[in-house]
Each structure stands twice: as structure tokens, then as C-alpha cells.
Structure 1
């Protein structure tokens, strides 16, 4: 192939690879481009799961008309893929039928009628973060020059760019979806807080929306509401909620009351007679008029969040603060009303006896 033909082939390969609508399409077009423009017969892309010792076929180009079941999993011990990745250089098998180094390819070369094999490492990963290789084969023994490897390497490089583009698009799409979920959760929490609901109902909703197990404490309502278990190995949800409502209630309230206006990390010592363990917990105090009226107790999880989860946490705190403020105002109003009633009775200032009785 002359230089002009190679340039035209690379242009066509770039257009073909970049036309895919998703990662699977991009990889399928990459195999097709490598086979069509580099003059190979069959091809596939495999992802390498080194910790478990296997290579998995993701896409395959096979123009044969015979429909048959082909292996989709290879043991790395019989595959040149891991060699290509470890060395970061192509692996060329001139005749797979006589290769002693890779018996898996030797067996399949007879079954699928091919001879030469070229394995190209790819500087990109699949959707699960596993490295990939491109494998192409030919029916006849094919001599591969340094120029041939450079040419197919350029096709692979174009494919790597397209794969990275798909990864970025997928990440942007997922970020957009997470943002939409966070905004929807924010709206839902505010609607719940502004309705005629209770702190307990809002606490249940917060527990469902946040990724972390939480406990909500309302001091004025003398209320402690637990959600999911922070340690499923020791408590299921029902047992945890029972423990929080019973043996752990006083300790949780004490720890929450000890929190200042700023968040702080504490250790909760759990001993309900059946289990003894230490749980790390972060306390987010709820304040109204510089008075701590409640707290949100958050149990960390191994996978911690980013900005969107922090925004969701802030929304939960705001909604709980609004709901607790309503309870707080109602508590103060009722206290003031009872005080005024007491003074009216003591000072005999009432006008209607029926009103006093009511």
C-alpha cells in the first residue's frame, strides 16, 4: 500500500471509528477498520481481567457465513494478550498452527482456519476499567513489517481517541443524571418540609435519599428516628431501629446534644446486650436562633461522595431545619400560651369560664 492510499485509509478509519453512537459501536468499528484497511481477515477486541486470569472478547469481526458458538473467554496463560500489555508492544505470531507458546491459538487456528495473528495493545480501558487489546488474524501466512505495524498502530490510536471520547461523554451523561436526581431530591425534600408533615416522616425520606445511613434527632419533640443500619454485619434495619429506639436512645441524644454549632466527628459505642462495636459518626447540628434544636447523625460509608452528594446533604439539612423550625415555633407558642393561661387563672383575669375550661 502506497503512502497516499494509507493516508486515505486512515481518513476513512477515523471517520468510521468516530461515527459510533456508543462505546460498543466504536469498538466494533475499530475492529472493522483494522481488518478492512490493514488487510486482515478476522479481528476482535478483548478486555483483560488480570486479577482473575482471563481475557474476554468484547466485539468480534467475523465475515464468515457459518453461525457457530465461539469462545468469549480465554485463559491468560494461553493468550498473547497479557504479553502485549506487559511489554506494551505488539505480539506477532507468524503461524499460529505451529506455535508452541500459545496452545489456545494453535487449537483455534485449525478450528477457524487461520494462520498469522497480530495482537496490538490499546492504551485505553473498557467500561469496567479493564485494559484492552486488538487482535487481527489472516487466512494465509502474512509477513508483517515495521511499516505495517506502524500503520495498524495509527488505526488503534485513532480508536483510542474515540474510546476516550465515549468515556467522557458517558461521564458527562452520568453527571447530568446525578444532578437531575439531586435537584429532584432537593425539591421533594422541600415540599415535604413545607407540607403539614412531621419530622419523623421527613427523616424517613432523608434516609431514603442520602447514600449514607443516618439518624435524625429532634430535641424539642424528644424524637430519634433511625434509617438504614450502619453495620449490616451486626444489625439488619429492623434490629438497628429497635436498638436506637431503646438501648442506644439516651447515648445518641447525649452525643448529639454535645455537638457544638459546627459539625464534628464522634465515636458511638454500641452495646445493646447482643453486640459491642464502635461506629464512627459525623454530627451535623441543626440550629435556630443560635440554639441547637436537633442533629443529623451521618455514618460514613466506604465509597464517599462528591459535590452532588454534598449538595444533597445540604438540602437534607435545610429541609430538616425548616421542619424543626416549625416544631420549634409551635413549641414556643404553646409554651407562651400555657404561661398566659396560668397567669389568667392565678390573677383571676378570665372573662369566660368556658374558655378557661377549653
Structure 2
């Protein structure tokens, strides 16, 4: 073939190949076009299937033999030239394929179909199964193949490579466009369900079309989990409404993390790797989204995941807005109750009813003293919903750095449920958080007193570094008594029982206090008290007589001595936590 004719044929083939719409059609047009614009009679494309160990013809143009390739399994790759061509990456010329002995399988095919001179050229593209490909031409005669002929065939192979790559790029763009349309449609469908809090099941199915397999969302505002039951996450979940503490802790710890952060998640003693992204609404941390997979998300999967997070945040938004609205009402109501502003009693009762709360029921007040005096909205919402789940009707707000929970205790079960409530919220609470529950409050007018008692008890607990539920068990009976007592009455009691001399700061007051305390502590035994003070018993008797004469103290009256001992203990306790 002369060079001029080769160029004309290349141009014709380029237009011919450009008419193709996909890779398969390109291969078909290539095999036909080469035979139409050159001296070659037959043309084919073969793939090497390494798993099957076969060289398989996938496209063939043979006007003299119309055999169906779908029924032909291929040749043993060990006896086919395809493997060598792909291994060496260079064209192979067989002067007479029907007479050579190196590739017996190929020889038999050449003899059966009557072709001789053959040229095989490796293609740089692969088929849809990622198998390597070889392009071949054959003549029914023995012909010479010069540099021009070989260059022509290599140029055709390059044209095919360019065309196929272009088509695959176009196909990928079309797939991407289809994916984007699907993402938009799925996100739109999911968003239509986000305003219906009862549609969690259908929303989860919609989100599964946006998220990769194995996902789980934790909503801190409600304490619920959201996942597709058809494709459940690989963690132990009894139900979506009861999320394990480990997952709640992981969702809380996701605050401030970058989306897509990979972490080790431990649930029920098992550790699994997960990709976590925080969920936020108006700057508030309201939950986390977990993907359980080892490989990173592709660009399209990440775009779909972002769309899914938007739908998920919108679903949480309703309960979040409801919580914030009710919190404002609760703060206004509790502020009035604690301040004693009961001028419009009916208005307060109506406001409580709007919060689904009955102020005329027996009540209990729970106060949480939080280190730092603040709590984010997601955590606050979870604590309130946990209280409602454990105790029943509850309202809550943050006042003066303390988290207030007002409980309806008409069932009388609040004290018994303390442990369960703390177990539900413990993972959210900062270390050192103390809680206290008031005595039952029969009428809401007694709430200011209940709040004062709780505040005093928490002050005592804080000074003793107590955390968790604060009771007489962990702060002592006397501190609890002191905290629950009205300070005005306590001061009046101390003033009426303690002698004036004990209020001084001089040496005389110290000696008097030491003498009285030691005498009472030893059970009013003179010798034992004198030994404890390091003085003679006669000196002790003299001191006690002076105190009796000057301050009217009767050390022989058991009841008076008990009152005096109690007053001294109360004063010491008061002094221990006064700033």
C-alpha cells in the first residue's frame, strides 16, 4: 500500500469510526472498515481471559464465514499468539498462520477458515470486564507486510484507542449526570418526608439511596437511632428508639470533628471502624452520622452523602425547633415559679398545660450542677427526653448555670427511677456533674423552698467534690440536714443555744470552745476529758463552773447538753461551706 493511499484510508476510517455510538460499535466498525479500506480480508478483536486461561474472539468480520462467536469458547491461551502480543506489547506478524507450528490452536483455525498472513496489534484500551485486547487482521493470501502497512494498522489501533477513550469518558459523564439526577430526586423525595416525624421508616429507605450500605444516624435531640432495617448497620441495636450508651458517647464526641473523620467505634465490647460526620443545626451539635465501610467514599458518593446529611438534618430540625420553643416557655414558667410570682395563677396553669404538664400534681425538682454552668442544645434535649421517658411528664430549662427538671411524681416512683435516669444520661454529662432531687412538693407554691434546698445541697456536694446523685449517703446526714434547713432559723437556733463567748475569736473563746466540745465528746466524763485536754481534772471543773455561772450552761442536764452539742456541730458544718 502506497503512503498516499494509506493516508486517504486513515481519513476514511477515522470518519467511519467516529460514527460509532459506543465501544462495542467502535470495535465492529473497526473490523469492517479496515477490510473495506485495505488489502486485508478478515479482521477481529480478541481478549485474554486470565481466569479462564482462554483467548476469546469478541468481534469478527469474516465475509466468507458467518459463524456465531457466542457459541465459541475461545482457544487455550497457551497455544494462542494473543498472550505473547500482550506480554511483549509489540505487533506480531505471522507470514502464514495456517502453516506455522508455534500456535497449533491458531493454525487449526487458519486452516479451517482459509486465511494465511496475519498481523496482531495490542490495543491500549480494555473491554468492559477490564480484560486486555488484541486487534488482528488476516489475508486469504500470503502477502508481504512492509513498514507502511504496519504503520497503517498501528495508526488505526491508535484511532480506536482515542475513540474508545472518548466514548468511555462520555459514558462516564452520562453516568455522572444520571447519578446527579438520582441524587437530586432521592434528596427531594427524602426532604418531602422530613417534616413528618412518623415517617422515619420511609425516610430511612430514601436515605439508603443516598448513603453507602451500612449507615447509622444518632439524633441527640431525641436519643433515637435512624437506619435502614433492610440494610442494618454492623452494630448491636435492639431498636432505633434505644441507642446504646457507647453510640451516644461516640455521637457526642463527634462534636467539632471534620466530616468523614475515621474512628474506632466500640459498641457492646466489639470495635469496628467507622467514618463519622457531625450533624449540626444553627451551630448546635445535634447528632452524628456513621458510615461502616473500609474503602473511602468516591466523589459521587460523597456528594450523595452530603445531600443525605441535609435531609437528615432537616428531619431532626423539627424536633429541635420544637425543643427550643418549649424551652423558652419552660424557662419563663420556672422563673415565675421559683420567684414566687403567682399573681395570675390560671395563666401559669395554662402555660404548664401548653407544655403538657400539670402543676397541680405532686412534683419533684431535679437540679443538675454542671461544671462550666452550660450545656449545648442537643445534650439538653436528650436529657429532657430521657427524663420524660423515665419519670413521665417533665419540663426543663437552664437557670443560673443549673439545669432544672420539674417532674410530675403523682405515681410516686421518681426516687426509685433515679439510677435508671442517670444511666441514660451519664455518657453526656461532663465529669464532676452532681444531681439532687427534692422531696415531694405537694403544691407548686413550695417550689422556691425546694429550689433553695437543692441549691444548698449542691453547694455542700461541691465543697466535698461529690458527683452523681447527691444524697445523705454520699454527703452525710448532717450536711444534708444543714442544706435542707432554712438558714434564718438555723442562725436563730445557734444564737439561742450557744453562749456568747463561743462567738469570739480570741484565746478565751478558743479555750471555752475546746473545753465544752471535749467534755461533751467524752460523754461528760471529767477525768477522760481532762486527759484529752492535757489539764488537771480540777482545772476542768473550774472552767466548767465559770462557763456555767457566766453563761447559764447546765452541764448536768442531759437534754441541755444534747442541744449544746447539736448546735456546736451545726455551727461547724455551716462554717465548713460558707464562702
TM-score normalised per structure 2: 0.54
8 Å CA contact retained: 2:2, 2:148: no
Partner of 1:261: 256
Q: Say which one has the larger Rg.
A: 2
Partner of 2:5: 5
Partner of 1:296: 289
Deviation at 1:323, TM superposition (A): 2.2
Deviation string, structure 1 residues 206-241 (Cα, Å, up to 9, x no partner): 234212421111122121223379xxxxxx749857
Deviation at 1:45, TM superposition (A): 0.6
Deviation at 1:38, TM superposition (A): 2.6
Distance of 2:242 and 2:33 partners within structure 1:
67
Inter-CA distance 200–284: structure 2 relative to 1 (3 Å threshold):
farther
Pairing partner for 1:285 from 278, 281, 285:
278
> What SS does the corresponding residue of 1:109 show, helix, strand or coil?
helix
Inter-CA distance 292–92: structure 2 relative to 1 (3 Å threshold):
same
Instruction: Describe how 1:305-344 pairs up with structure 2 within 5 A.
Output: 305-306=298-299, 308-337=300-329
Deviation string, structure 1 residues 72-99 (Cα, Å, up to 9, x no partner): 5233211111211222221122222222
8 Å CA contact retained: 1:124, 1:132: yes
Deviation at 1:303, TM superposition (A): 5.8
8 Å CA contact retained: 1:283, 1:295: yes
Q: Does 1:78 align with 2:79?
A: yes
Q: Please identify runs of 4+ aligned residues in structure 1 that moved more than 6 A.
A: none
Deviation string, structure 1 residues 311-341 (Cα, Å, up to 9, x no partner): 2222222222222222012123334545666
Inter-CA distance 135–289: structure 2 relative to 1 (3 Å threshold):
closer
Partner of 2:18: 18
Stretches of structure 2 lacking an aligned partner (at least 5 in a row) = 357-579
Structure holding more strand per residue: 1
TM-score normalised per structure 1: 0.84
Inter-CA distance 256–186: structure 2 relative to 1 (3 Å threshold):
same
Partner of 2:40: 40
Q: Judge which range, 39-48 or 59-68, deviates more.
A: 59-68
Cα-Cα RMSD: 3.2
Instruction: Describe how 1:1-358 pairs up with structure 2 within 5 A.
Output: 1-50=1-50, 52-64=52-64, 67=67, 71-195=72-196, 197-198=198-199, 201-227=202-228, 237=232, 242-243=237-238, 249-263=244-258, 264-271=261-268, 277-302=270-295, 304-306=297-299, 308-337=300-329, 347=342, 349-351=344-346
8 Å CA contact retained: 2:225, 2:242: no
8 Å CA contact retained: 1:182, 1:309: no
Distance of 2:229 and 2:197 partners within structure 1:
25
Distance of 1:254 and 1:29 partners within structure 2:
62
Inter-CA distance 338–6: structure 2 relative to 1 (3 Å threshold):
closer
> What SS does the corresponding residue of 1:98 show, helix, strand or coil?
coil
Inter-CA distance 162–239: structure 2 relative to 1 (3 Å threshold):
closer
> What SS does the corresponding residue of 2:134 show, helix, strand or coil?
strand
8 Å CA contact retained: 2:98, 2:110: yes
Partner of 2:530: none
Distance of 1:61 and 1:44 partners within structure 2:
6
Deviation string, structure 1 residues 251-310 (Cα, Å, up to 9, x no partner): 111211222222343212244xxxx7421112222233443222112223436311x322
Distance of 1:35 and 1:83 partners within structure 2:
24
> What SS does the corresponding residue of 1:9 show, helix, strand or coil?
helix
8 Å CA contact retained: 1:38, 1:152: no
8 Å CA contact retained: 1:198, 1:323: no
Q: Judge which range, 22-31 or 38-47, deviates more.
A: 38-47
8 Å CA contact retained: 1:185, 1:312: no
> What SS does the corresponding residue of 1:210 show, helix, strand or coil?
coil
8 Å CA contact retained: 2:22, 2:164: no
Higher relative contact order (CA 8 A, sep 6+): 1
Deviation string, structure 1 residues 18-60 (Cα, Å, up to 9, x no partner): 1111111111111112222231222111122345533332211
> What SS does the corresponding residue of 2:226 show, helix, strand or coil?
strand
Q: Judge which range, 62-71 or 115-124, deviates more.
A: 62-71
Deviation string, structure 1 residues 169-226 (Cα, Å, up to 9, x no partner): 1121112112212222232232222456555653443234212421111122121223
Stretches of structure 1 lacking an aligned partner (at least 5 in a row) = 230-235
Inter-CA distance 66–182: structure 2 relative to 1 (3 Å threshold):
closer
Deviation at 1:114, TM superposition (A): 2.1
